[in-house]
């Protein structure tokens, strides 16, 4: 994921309280050092800085790492505000929307987004259900994970579908995005669309039924050609693209076995006894991948350490007290988020730890989604898949929250002078434009059901392997008696060693 952020110092500089720079303010519970002469205050604000949101503020020329500037509403600021912008709506009211700056932050809501959406046609045009070998025309095709390419079972020809970014022109600059753009595989799901699809074989004319809730392919009972569900219906079954497996099943089994073996000492005996590495299955999980052009605005309080001392309390205890200068901080900038990956299955997005441990799926990220290719059902042959059941509309708040989290990190990196940290108190986000595509991502999965005696409810443990990188993470049932016993033993040893140390002192 790449986030390109404008220079905060050139847009909205850190600001100090109204008027002159503040005197040092002691942090609650901290000591205030004795006055030893006036402290050096931060440099005065640059006269070029203006609170007008339509003007581009200049960078403050200050040698200190923290440069205060006037807040919007400062009594001294109105004389610096230009008078031309308020006159524009009267002179050219029909051009007012074009004259509004795209980076202007919102006023009240947490985030805003222009209306939409617009669609990009990512369909393959193979409505006859025949995904043929480009060399011999055979439909006997499957994925070869060693190379990540499709292979024809008849002529042994190998090839790969084009990347979706290139095939459907989804590589335009993120900074040019306006409104909401969706691939046709990410369209809203309709309850009226059935999972059952009837395909007319393009080879013999027979009609073949494919239940996309169970499989994405079926064999024609007359000519034996393989028919694939390639039409992007509004049921979430056919995505815009797919990221093929590149980790083989044998490699995945080896990684899962090594993961469980390293935790065997604390694992529950029943789990160790029933562990079957051959039960590892490959599954394509549905995700929505979003690019976002956004503007973030954050305001808060930052602290700069000015002093500290250690005092003695009691016979053996000491405590360190700190004092700090407190400043109001403001950051506003445009940002571009590339390939933000969001789970689009309601079941997988459920992080209720009392029912399952599927949150381990997030621990095996990232996926190299930039290599996702156009959808071809032959990539799914030999694997299972789950269809998407969450719409983009439901995912927009989650995408905005993730983007705002990125903004917090980037804003903090741009204000390192506040060595005591920054507490953001007011945040807002404008989504100028977003681009959504639906993609299948590859995961090798091992699951184990742990019953809970008498409750009728159990916990499902998962061990997951990233089908591209091999990153492995999971959960195993714990032998609680052994874990508690070792914890008690460690506590006793610590107490004994602490007593011996006090006697020596």
Q: What percent of the chain has a predicted confidence (pLDDT) above 70? A: 68
Instruction: State residue 69's pLDDT score.
Output: 41
Q: Residues 37, 89: contact at Cβ < 8 Å?
A: no
Q: Residues 62, 43: contact at Cβ < 8 Å?
A: yes
Instruction: State residue 115's pLDDT score.
Output: 63
Average pLDDT score over residue span 102-129 = 64
Q: Residues 421, 255: contact at Cβ < 8 Å?
A: no
Average pLDDT score over residue span 157-161 = 94
Q: What is the pLDDT of residues 232-261, one digit of tens each?
A: 677 788 899 999 999 999 999 999 999 999
Instruction: State residue 49's pLDDT score.
Output: 33
Average pLDDT score over residue span 491-498 = 69
Give the highest mean pLDDT range of 124-138, 323-337, 443-457. 323-337
Between these two residues, 52 and 148, which has the higher pLDDT value? 148
486 Cβ neighbours under 8 A, 6+ residues apart:
none
Average pLDDT score over residue span 421-444 = 94
Average pLDDT score over residue span 344-354 = 70
Task: State whether residue 175 is helix, strand or coil.
Answer: helix
Which of 35-49, 96-110, 119-133, 237-251 comes out lowest in average pLDDT? 35-49
**What does the alpha-carbon distance between residue 328 and residue 376 come to, in Å, rounded to a whole number?**
54
Average pLDDT score over residue span 401-422 = 92
Between these two residues, 93 and 299, which has the higher pLDDT value? 299
pLDDT category of residue 454 using cuts at 50, 70 and 90: low
Between these two residues, 140 and 67, which has the higher pLDDT value? 140
Average pLDDT score over residue span 456-466 = 85
Instruction: State residue 7's pLDDT score.
Output: 38
Q: Residues 335, 403: contact at Cβ < 8 Å?
A: yes
Instruction: State residue 456's pLDDT score.
Output: 62
Does the pLDDT of residue 308 top 80, yes or no? Answer: yes
Q: What is the pLDDT of residues 23-78, one digit of tens each?
A: 444 333 333 333 334 343 344 333 333 333 333 333 333 334 433 344 344 434 34
Which of 48-52, 68-72, 194-198, 477-481 comes out lowest in average pLDDT? 48-52
Between these two residues, 402 and 500, which has the higher pLDDT value? 402
Residue in the block written with tokens 């508690």:
484
Supply the mean pLDDT for the chain.
76
Q: What is the pTM of this model?
A: 0.69
**What does the alpha-carbon distance between residue 326 and residue 14 come to, in Å, rounded to a whole number?**
12
Residue in the block written with tokens 């617009």:
118
pLDDT category of residue 209 using cuts at 50, 70 and 90: confident
pLDDT category of residue 21 using cuts at 50, 70 and 90: very low
Between these two residues, 126 and 150, which has the higher pLDDT value? 150
Q: What is the pLDDT of residues 317-327, one digit of tens each?
A: 888 999 999 99
Instruction: State residue 424's pLDDT score.
Output: 94
Q: What is the pLDDT of residues 285-299, one digit of tens each?
A: 999 999 999 999 999
Does the pLDDT of residue 416 top 80, yes or no? Answer: yes
Between these two residues, 500 and 71, which has the higher pLDDT value? 500
Give the highest mean pLDDT range of 89-103, 255-269, 333-347. 333-347
Instruction: State residue 334's pLDDT score.
Output: 95
Does the pLDDT of residue 340 top 50, yes or no? Answer: yes
DSSP 63-111: SSS----PPTT-TTSGGGS-SSGGGHHHH-GGGHHHHS-TTPPPSSSSE
Over the range 175-184, which residues count as b (16 or more CB within 10 Å of their CB) and which as e? eebeebbbbb
Instruction: State residue 47's pLDDT score.
Output: 36
Residue in the block written with tokens 């400062």:
74
Does the pLDDT of residue 197 top 90, yes or no? Answer: no
Does the pLDDT of residue 500 top 50, yes or no? Answer: yes
Q: Read off the tokens for 374.
A: 């156009």
253 Cβ neighbours under 8 A, 6+ residues apart:
277, 278, 280
Between these two residues, 91 and 190, which has the higher pLDDT value? 190
Q: Read off the tokens for 364.
A: 């095996």
pLDDT category of residue 482 using cuts at 50, 70 and 90: low
């Amino acid at each position: 994921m790449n986030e390109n952020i404008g220079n905060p110092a050139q847009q909205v500089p850190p600001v100090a309280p109204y008027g002159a720079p503040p005197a040092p303010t002691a942090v609650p519970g901290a000591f205030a050092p004795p006055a030893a002469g006036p402290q050096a205050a931060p440099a005065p604000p640059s006269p070029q800085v203006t609170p007008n949101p339509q003007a581009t503020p200049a960078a403050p020329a200050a040698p200190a790492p923290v440069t205060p500037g006037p807040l919007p509403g400062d009594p001294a600021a109105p004389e610096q505000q230009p008078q031309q912008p308020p006159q524009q709506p009267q002179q050219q009211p029909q051009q007012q929307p074009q004259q509004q700056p795209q980076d202007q932050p919102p006023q009240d809501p947490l985030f805003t987004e222009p209306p939409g959406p617009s669609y990009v046609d990512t369909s393959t045009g193979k409505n006859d259900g025949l995904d043929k070998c480009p060399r011999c025309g055979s439909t006997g095709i499957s994925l070869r994970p060693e190379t990540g390419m499709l292979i024809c079972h008849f002529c042994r020809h190998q090839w790969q579908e084009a990347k979706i970014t290139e095939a459907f022109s989804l590589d335009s600059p993120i900074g040019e995005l306006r409104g909401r753009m969706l691939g046709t595989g990410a369209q809203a799901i309709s309850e009226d669309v059935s999972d059952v699809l009837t395909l007319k074989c393009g080879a013999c004319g027979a009609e073949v039924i494919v239940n996309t809730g169970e499989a994405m392919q079926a064999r024609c009972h007359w000519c034996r050609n393989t028919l694939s569900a390639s039409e992007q219906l509004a049921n979430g079954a056919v995505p815009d693209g797919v990221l093929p497996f590149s980790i083989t099943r044998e490699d995945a089994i080896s990684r899962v076995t090594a993961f469980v073996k390293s935790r065997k000492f604390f694992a529950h005996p029943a789990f160790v006894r029933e562990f079957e590495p051959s039960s590892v299955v490959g599954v394509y999980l549905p995700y929505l991948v979003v690019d976002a052009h956004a503007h973030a605005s954050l305001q808060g309080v930052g602290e700069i350490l000015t002093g500290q001392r250690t005092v003695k309390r009691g016979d053996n205890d000491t405590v360190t007290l700190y004092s700090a200068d407190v400043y109001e901080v403001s950051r506003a900038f445009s940002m571009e988020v590339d390939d933000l990956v969001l789970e689009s299955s309601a079941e997988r997005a459920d992080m209720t730890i009392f029912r399952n441990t599927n949150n381990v799926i997030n621990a095996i990220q990232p996926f190299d989604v930039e290599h996702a290719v156009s959808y071809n059902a032959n990539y799914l042959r030999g694997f299972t898949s789950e269809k998407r059941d969450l719409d983009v509309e439901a995912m927009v708040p989650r995408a905005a929250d993730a983007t705002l989290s990125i903004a917090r990190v980037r804003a903090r990196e741009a204000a390192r002078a506040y060595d005591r940290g920054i507490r953001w108190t007011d945040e807002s986000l404008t989504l100028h434009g977003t681009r959504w595509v639906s993609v299948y991502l590859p995961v090798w999965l091992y699951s184990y059901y742990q019953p809970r005696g008498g409750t009728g409810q159990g916990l499902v443990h998962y061990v997951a392997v990233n089908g591209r990188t091999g990153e492995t993470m999971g959960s195993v049932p714990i032998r609680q008696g052994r874990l508690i016993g070792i914890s008690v033993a460690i506590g006793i040893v610590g107490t004994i060693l602490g007593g011996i140390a006090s006697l020596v002192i």
